[in-house]
Amino acid sequence: MKGMIPAVLALADGTVFRGYGFGAPSLRPSVGEVVFNTSMYGYQEILTDPSYAGQIMCFTYPHIGNVGCNDDDVESGRVFVDGVVVREVSAITSNFRARRSLGEYLRNAGVTGIGGIDTRAVTTHLRSHGAQMGALFAGDRIGVDDLVSMARAAGSMEGKDYVKAVTCAKPYAWNELPWDLARGIQEVPFESLVTRPHVVAVDCGIKRHILRLLVDVGFRVTVVPASTSADGIRALRPDGVFLSNGPGDPATLDYVVEPARALLGTVPFFGICLGHQILGQAVGGKTFKLKFGHRGGNHPVKDLATGKVEITVQNHGFAVDQGSLPNNVVVSHLNLNDGTVEGLAVPELRAFSVQYHPEASPGPHDSRYLFERFYQAVVGDQVHV
């Protein structure tokens, strides 16, 4: 196409997709696990979700960039995906909250995208052949064969710890509230938070909307690095511990699992996504890699206690192996599409977790009640004491 830089997405199995580059120029190839997300809305939140570190994101919805990017719809301080694959990059942005185009946003973030790709072809390929590594490059300095080799050399997501790369350097407190149409994102003065029950959120790549909902439901929140020891967490005198979402293979995270195991039972625990997999391991379970993962905003999950179904937001390539869980662990939620574990609870330890994303952002808000459940668990604990 006229005036566009040809770009290539090469998969480890040798499959090659050709399109044009957008966003930041490729200084070097972007290499990562190529995954697809079926959400039709919310690309900016997806791009800034730290759980996508190490991944190249293929959007199944063909028009991406229509509403541009703004300052509020971010889940972290930066873009975390390593590359973006889309069918059609919008030529213009049209939304009253837009501040810049997607292209400009990615350019500022130093992330390269490839447009003009038959993303359905990529998706069906990943669906039938499984998730795999890929290399994306815009320009002609690097040959296709070299890109395939690079993708192959990257191995697999299995065994990779991306948490170290995305967790915060030091603890910090949080005071933002969830986004609101009229007011945008507001802050609660820190001084008014001091009397609230205190949650320590272990940051494995935490999304801001989780923190915002924790504040919104009534907590004081302190975020700590993933490597914080049990003593380190204890020292903060938490009333509850939250285990966050994050990227990579959960089996590589003993340094997060061990402190969690040590603290379980002392205060209520709530985990989301990677945090759920960490909790699962802390109570004795194991995780495994799914063929191509769940990424989107439309997966039905059944709450086995109520029989009700929630339309959930999902973003995970690994799952907790139901068979590996000890008897005291209750499987509380199941995915209705493939029957995988979506939630677990250990009542005696006052711990529960979900594989999916109740904070949504992007996606349906059906599961936000879980934050209230966590709050009740924590508050109930205090009443008991």
- Work out whether 291 is an interface residue with another protein (CB under 8 A): no
- Work out whether 373 is an interface residue with another protein (CB under 8 A): no
Q: How many CB atoms lie within 10 A of CB 235?
A: 11
Q: Which of 21, 23, 42, 240 binds another protein (CB under 8 A)?
A: 42
From 75, 209, 273, 276, the catalytic residue: 273
273 as an active site residue: the answer is yes
Torsion of CA 150, 151, 157, 158, to 10 degrees: -80
Q: Which of 13, 104, 118, 146 binds another protein (CB under 8 A)?
A: 118
**Type of residue numbered 291:** K
- Work out whether 383 is an interface residue with another protein (CB under 8 A): no
- Work out whether 1 is an interface residue with another protein (CB under 8 A): yes
The minimum distance between CB 89 and another protein, in angstroms, equals: 11
Within 8 A by CB and 6+ apart from 93, the residues are 65, 66, 67, 68, 69, 100, 101, 102
Q: Is the dihedral of CA 116, 289, 31, 223 positive or negative?
A: positive
Q: Which of 5, 13, 40, 176 binds another protein (CB under 8 A)?
A: 40
Nearer to another protein, 261 or 316 (CB): 316
The minimum distance between CB 73 and another protein, in angstroms, equals: 6
Which residue in 243, 335, 223, 317 sits closest to 283, CA to CA?
243
Distance of alpha carbon 191 from alpha carbon 362, whole angstroms? 30
75 DSSP 8-state letter: S
- Give the strand order in the sheet containing 330-335: 172-174, 220-225, 198-203, 240-243, 269-272, 351-354, 341-346, 330-335, 287-303, 309-320
- Work out whether 92 is an interface residue with another protein (CB under 8 A): yes
- Work out whether 290 is an interface residue with another protein (CB under 8 A): no
Nearer to another protein, 6 or 284 (CB): 6
Q: Which of 169, 181, 194, 383 binds another protein (CB under 8 A)?
A: 181
Interface with another protein by CB under 8 A: which range of 56-64, 142-150, 157-165, 261-269?
A: 56-64
Strand ranges for 116-245 from DSSP E: 132-138, 172-174, 198-203, 220-225, 240-243
Distance of alpha carbon 105 from alpha carbon 5, whole angstroms? 18
359 as an active site residue: the answer is yes
Distance of alpha carbon 110 from alpha carbon 229, whole angstroms? 34
88 as an active site residue: the answer is no
- Work out whether 95 is an interface residue with another protein (CB under 8 A): yes
Nearer to another protein, 68 or 285 (CB): 68
Binding site for another protein (CB under 8 A): 1, 36, 38-42, 44-45, 60-63, 66-67, 70, 72-73, 87-88, 90-92, 94-97, 118-121, 123-124, 127, 179, 181, 296-300, 302, 307-309, 311, 336-337, 360-365
